[in-house]
Structure 1
Amino acid sequence: MKMCNVRQFFKQFPDDEACLLHLFDVRFGQGHDCPKCKREAKWYPLTNEKAYSCQWCGHHIHPMVDTIFEKSRTPLQLWFYAIFLFTTSKHGVSGKELQRQLGVTYKTAWRMAALIREHMAAIDGEAPLGGEGKIVEVDETYVGGKTEGRDWRARKTVVMGMIERGGDAMLKVVPDQKRGSLMPVIRENVAGGTEIHTDELSAYKKAIRWNAMDTRP
């Protein structure tokens, strides 16, 4: 079912149980061979934990393990809704917007947004640069040929280059030239905890030492 509005989302995912079932179906599905008894099984949801039990031996499968939802205290439905916002927004979703939409703390919203972006980048085949203990150098330039006049910047495109020392490089088009437009590009493409090296441009001041928040949402 392709969803395009909020009503369709909540019809498909009315509660955490529906979200967990969807996650189980996508990752495993009924008839999945039990890793313990090696038999094709029907799986039953448990009432006291977020898991499914094998009909033959009672072995448990936890659909949230090895996903961005693992160990999170945030309701699964809010996670799904956050992902819905990311996949339906044309201009991305900020931590502040998630905080407002989900009714969670900014710290939780920021962490959720970072994990969702990392997951989406990995799916698209472009994993974030950097990470704890790593250095990423960042700079930007104007592209668009020779032009004259006081408003020459408005007629060019801003392209940001990011390179991890000893690792990969990445080029991204900055969607606009407004103040504060550079940091969102960095947050979307550089892993939290990375040491950012830039020039003295004021727009980069917040990126000089950008560290991930350790507490999971």
Structure 2
Amino acid sequence: MLGQDHRKGITLFELQKMFPTNEEAKKWVAGIRWVDKVQCPKCSSDNIQTDVTHKTMDYRCRKCRKWFSVRMGTIMENSRLPILYWVYAVYIQTSSLKGMASMKLYKELGITQKTAWFLSHRIRKAYQDSLGGLEIFVGPVEADETYMGGKEKNKYNKDKL
């Protein structure tokens, strides 16, 4: 197991350059979610209206007439927190060797401890599940000093595939 000194990844300054605004973070999430075309999460239609004036919903399906945003169907659904906070929280949780407690996360992001706890639990759930059908976290992932994954030969016989 490599220590934190030997790990490679982006720095906090690089992350700030990548996502200077919430709009940039929203574009990045949309690019991950919909590689080719924006699709309605309700009816999977690609006949989407993008020039909408809704306060929180960026898209409207012309087929089923439902409003939706990049958050729907992800861990960010039903959260009013800007997407930029989610991006920073995921970065902090995944770049720390053993994750980060919600008490420290709320101090780092300037949010309430309850919101930080909510963020942490949603991010940990994303380690197990997939985000919008995409496997974002690949390989062994450590959460709260628990390793999920590992080599097949190290498992108990009853757990081997």
TM-score by length of 1: 0.48
Distance, in Å, in 2 between the alignment partners of 1:55 and 1:29 is 20
**3-state SS of paired residue (1:20):** helix
Q: In the alignment, which residue of structure 2 is the partner of 1:24?
A: 30
- Superposed, 1:52-201 pairs within 5 Å as 52-53=59-60, 60-123=67-130, 184-185=144-145
- Alignment of 1:6 onto 2:32: no
Equivalent position amino acid for 1:98 in 2: L
Alpha-carbon shift at residue 46 of structure 1 (Å): 4.1
Kindly indicate which of the two structures has a greater share of residues assigned to helix: 2
Please, which runs of 5 or more residues in structure 2 have no aligned partner? 1-7, 131-136, 149-161
Matched positions, count: 130
The corresponding residue for 1:44 is 50
Separation in structure 2 between the aligned mates of residue 32 and residue 104 of structure 1, nearest angstrom? 31
Task: Please state which structure has a larger fraction of its residues in strand.
Answer: 1
Amino acid at match of 1:14: P
C-alpha distance in 2, partners of 1:37/1:119? 22
Q: CA contact under 8 A between 2:57 and 2:67: conserved in structure 1?
A: no
What amino acid is aligned across from residue 76 of structure 1 in structure 2? I
Which moves more between the two structures, 25-34 or 54-63? 54-63
Distance 1:54 1:44 in 2: 9
In structure 2, the CA distance between the partners of 1:67 and 1:42, relative to structure 1 (3 Å rule), is closer
Moved over 2 A (4+): 29-38, 40-50, 52-61, 121-125
* Percent identity (aligned): 26
**How many Å separate the matches in 1 of 2:47 and 2:61?**
6
- Kept in 1, the 8 Å contact 2:25–2:83? The answer is yes
Q: 1:89 to 1:99 in 2, by over 3 A?
A: same
Paired with 2:77 and 2:17, the residues of 1 have a C-alpha distance of 24
